[in-house]
Amino acid sequence: MRGLLSTLFVTWLGLIALQTLSGSGASGRVAEAFRDANTIIEKALDPTVPAIPDLRK
């Protein structure tokens, strides 16, 4: 079951990438996708960013 889910997830990501690369204005969307991915990775690896944001403010 786990192999099936990972295959479906990778296929889904591949379809998103293909749609992003093949449409009009693709270069801007590709740059935006890389920027978003970089932001997510930076947040995941940054020890000062809490995993669960504090919403008590």
40 three-state secondary structure: helix
Domain ranges (residues) in the chain: 2-44
Task: For 29-51, write each residue's pLDDT tens digit.
Answer: 778 888 898 888 888 888 887 77
Give the count of beta carbons closer than 10 Å to the beta carbon of residue 57. Answer: 4
25: confidence class by pLDDT, cuts 50, 70, 90: confident
Q: Give the integer Cα–Cα distance in Å for 38 and 31.
A: 10
pLDDT for the residue numbered 12 = 92
The DSSP secondary-structure symbol of 46 reads -
For the entire predicted model, the pTM comes to: 0.44
Instruction: Give me 48's structure tokens.
Output: 């000062």
pLDDT for the residue numbered 11 = 94
pLDDT for the residue numbered 26 = 72
Task: For 4-14, write each residue's pLDDT tens digit.
Answer: 889 999 999 99
